[in-house]
């Protein structure tokens, strides 16, 4: 039996920062509303780099930290809801940009749960012996999908990429997971819609690319579902909450995290939050946070880390990882 272990984490975030005050100059909002409702004070926006550019730069950081050559990567999985193109995939563009000529590359779409779903997918390939290693990346340029006239959404999101290099190991690594989907509630968070118009189905072309969200519905979903998912995960793993050293949640909203922490009876000190600096970067938020913690020396060898993502789909995914 094989296991997957995280050998390195890394991230790349565009340099350009937009504060809440900056946004208040273009939309009817203010720093007090945004920070008290979400915990967000700044976000990084791309000034032209697309999703595969961010992902490739994150990949280079990860491989450097792992001490692995691009040509030795066997699998690339990119999670994104903001790809450069519908096709080719972000992962194929990354493969070409970093020179991972021997890798198999494909994308998955699970929104803010995408990094957890990506790790889970790569883990299965490694566990089954098909591949010895995998690069898993979450990358988003959400700014291109934001309606800067909709104050309810444009203040919440940011751009960035992060990921991890997984390697076959004698011991896990990835210890346990719990994932789920509720498509019936999917239309409460949408982007990138095109209706069908062709020579045999005429009508008005309707392209709805902006992110649209029922914030209350998502808030309710996240605060109900994440605690249940974590409880299910802990039970499957046969551990107790006290055995968890660090929790890295999807960085959507500090209030959601506070409610989740209270329900799970896990002290807030165990949660790592950085939405203040990056906003919600969807699939990239968990690996950006892991990379930041790693760079600050906050994750020690042997730590049991819980990551938990939730978002559009609706989807959710929690995973226990031994570093």
Which residues contact ligand ACO by CB under 6 A?
29, 33-34, 37-38, 111-112, 151-152, 155, 189, 213, 215-216, 218-219, 252-253, 256, 280, 282, 311-312
46 Cα distance to chain centroid: 17
- In the complex with ligand ACO, the residue whose CB is nearer, 176 or 280, is 280
Compute φ and ψ for 141, nearest 5 degrees: -115, 85
Q: Please report where in the chains the tokens 């990429």 appear, as a residue.
A: 161
Query: How far apart, in whole angstroms, are the C-alpha atoms of residue 245 and residue 183?
Result: 32
Query: How far apart, in whole angstroms, are the C-alpha atoms of residue 216 and residue 248?
Result: 23
Closest C-alpha to 319, from 136, 97, 64: 136
Q: How far is the CB of 140 from ligand ACO (least distance, A)?
A: 9
Q: Between the CA of residue 276 and those of 31, 186, 273, 315, what are the distances in Å?
A: 11, 27, 8, 24
- In the complex with ligand ACO, the residue whose CB is nearer, 189 or 305, is 189
Q: Where are the alpha helices (DSSP H) in 99-174?
A: 114-127, 151-154
Known catalytic residue at 208? no
Q: How far is the CB of 81 from ligand ACO (least distance, A)?
A: 7
- In the complex with ligand ACO, the residue whose CB is nearer, 186 or 215, is 215
- In the complex with ligand ACO, the residue whose CB is nearer, 146 or 266, is 146
Known catalytic residue at 44? no
Choosing from 20, 250, 253, 291, the catalytic residue is 250
Q: Which residue is nearest to ligand ACO (CB)?
A: 215
- In the complex with ligand ACO, the residue whose CB is nearer, 159 or 167, is 159
Compute φ and ψ for 235, nearest 5 degrees: -65, -45
Choosing from 50, 133, 253, 280, the catalytic residue is 280
Query: How far apart, in whole angstroms, are the C-alpha atoms of residue 126 and residue 169?
Result: 9
Choosing from 112, 133, 253, 291, the catalytic residue is 112
Find all residues with CB under 8 Å of 105, minimum gap 6, and list them.
75, 76, 77, 78, 89, 91, 92, 94, 95
Known catalytic residue at 201? no
Q: How far is the CB of 43 from ligand ACO (least distance, A)?
A: 13
Query: How far apart, in whole angstroms, are the C-alpha atoms of residue 185 and residue 189?
Result: 9
Query: Which residues belong to the active site?
Result: 112, 250, 280
């Amino acid at each position: 039996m094989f296991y997957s272990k995280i050998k390195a984490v890394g991230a790349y975030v565009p340099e350009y920062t937009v504060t809440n005050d900056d946004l208040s100059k273009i939309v009817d909002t203010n720093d007090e509303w945004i920070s008290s409702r979400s915990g967000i004070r700044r976000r990084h926006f791309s000034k032209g780099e697309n999703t595969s550019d961010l992902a490739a730069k994150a990949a280079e950081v990860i491989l450097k930290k792992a001490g692995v050559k691009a040509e030795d990567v066997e699998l690339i999985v990119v999670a994104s809801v903001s790809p450069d193109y519908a096709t080719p995939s972000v992962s194929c563009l990354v493969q070409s940009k970093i020179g991972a000529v021997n890798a198999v590359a494909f994308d998955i779409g699970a929104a803010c749960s995408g990094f957890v779903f990506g790790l889970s997918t790569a883990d299965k390939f490694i566990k089954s012996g098909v591949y010895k290693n995998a690069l898993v990346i979450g990358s988003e340029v959400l700014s291109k999908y934001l309606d800067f006239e909709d104050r309810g959404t444009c203040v919440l999101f940011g751009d960035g990429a992060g990921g991890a290099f997984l390697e076959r190991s004698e011991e896990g690594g990835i210890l346990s997971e719990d994932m789920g989907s509720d498509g019936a509630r999917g239309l409460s968070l949408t982007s990138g819609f095109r209706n069908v118009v062709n020579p045999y189905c005429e009508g008005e072309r309707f392209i709805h690319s902006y992110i649209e969200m029922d914030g209350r519905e998502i808030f309710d979903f996240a605060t109900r579902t994440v605690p249940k998912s974590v409880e299910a995960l802990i039970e499957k793993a046969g551990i107790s909450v006290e055995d968890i050293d660090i929790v890295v949640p999807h960085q959507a909203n500090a209030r959601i995290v506070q409610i989740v922490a209270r329900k799970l009876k896990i002290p807030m000190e165990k949660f790592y939050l950085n939405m203040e600096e990056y906003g919600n970067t969807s699939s990239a938020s968990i690996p950006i946070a892991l990379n930041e913690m790693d760079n600050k020396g906050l994750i020690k060898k042997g730590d049991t880390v819980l990551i938990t993502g939730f978002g559009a789909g609706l989807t959710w995914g929690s995973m226990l990882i031994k570093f």
